Amino acid sequence: MKTDLNDTEFDQVISLRDAYRCMEAFTAAYVARGDGAVSEFLDFYVSTAADGLAQHSDAPRDFLNALASIRVADRS
């Protein structure tokens, strides 16, 4: 199932600390998969289109997975 930025899961409010840690986990997962250079990640993978949706259809779900991973780490 594809997730997009209009899904209600993106209505969550998180702290700036968690946002930073989530972006770090999101970026690390992208780099670990070997999908491309970090410059490609910034230019395409995390960009939004004119309609406000993610340029890459997997990015929203991957971001939510990164958020879940930092929350699990906090509980450990």
pLDDT of 33: 87
pLDDT of 38: 81
Q: What does pLDDT average to in each consecutive run of 10 residues of the chain (76 residues)?
A: 84 92 90 84 84 88 92 76
Let me know: does 70 contact 18? Beta carbons within 8 Å: yes
pLDDT of 1: 64
pLDDT of 19: 93
pTM of the model: 0.76
Let me know: does 22 contact 63? Beta carbons within 8 Å: yes
Q: Where are the domains of the chain?
A: 21-75
How far, in Å, CA of 72 to CA of 52, rounded?
Answer: 29
